[in-house]
Amino acid sequence: MTSAAASCSDFVQFFRLWAANPLQVAAVAPSGDALARVMTQEIGPETGPVLELGPGTGVFTRALLERGVAESDLTLVEYGSDFARMLEFRFPQARVLWMDASQLARFDLYGDMPVGAVVSGLPLLSMSPRKVVAILSGAFTYMRPGGAFYQFTYGPRCPVPRPILDRLGLKATRTGRALRNIPPAAVYKITRRQPLGAGRRRFEALPA
């Protein structure tokens, strides 16, 4: 299949899954290459293990591989069963987990805190504050010192409200925009406010 035919087929598949579950998929089409570049621009082979949340058809996954991240360093957490099956087929060396990202802290996915970056395509704006807290606190459970959580949004500000950032001891900075995405999007980098050791070592796991 040519790459144009493949992206057309991804578009059709994505649209079909959005029509079946608009709140969960939350976009009518996969993100474009421009947004994938901004989302992954600070990540490379030196980042080590990368956790991707809500990969969909794998646009950001492909960009991570192009940036030199080893496929075996990828853990892909996807709630949509059709997307999860597609990801397993496309990225056979990655670990694909068919699960709700708000349950991350309930499992021992790594055993330690080796994750250098989290790349999230999750529709945080359509989730409850409790769920957003569970996702962030779960993700940062696995994040090593200096690691960052990258999140895109179509909205005018960071999709994680300030009170949640404050509660979790996190800060957000905008790292770029992808104006050639449909719709245009901005990317936020969320990091710990203080290095580990200066405060609490691990976030508490909160119920979903």
CB 64 within 8 A of CB 45: no
**Contacting residue, 83, 140, 149, 203, with ligand SAM by CB under 6 A:** 83
Site string for ligand SAM, 87-126 (x = CB under 6 A): -------------xxx------------------xxx---
Interaction with ligand SAM in 39-58: which residues (CB under 6 A)? 53-56
Q: How far is the CB of 25 from ligand SAM (least distance, A)?
A: 5
> ∠13-82-48 over CA atoms, to 5°?
105
In angstroms, rounded to a whole number, what is the distance separating the alpha carbons of residues 79 and 84?
7
Out of 47, 49, 80, 149, the only residue in the binding site for ligand SAM (CB under 6 A) is 80
Question: Using the rule CB under 6 A, is 191 a contact of ligand SAM?
Answer: no
CB of 150 to ligand SAM, least distance (A): 11
Site for ligand SAM, residues 135 to 164, rule: CB under 6 A: none
Exactly one of 59, 115, 117, 148 binds ligand SAM (CB under 6 A); that residue is 59
DSSP string, 135-152: HHHHHHHSEEEEEEEEEE
Binding site for ligand SAM (CB under 6 A): 24-27, 30-31, 53-56, 59-60, 77-80, 83, 100-102, 121-123
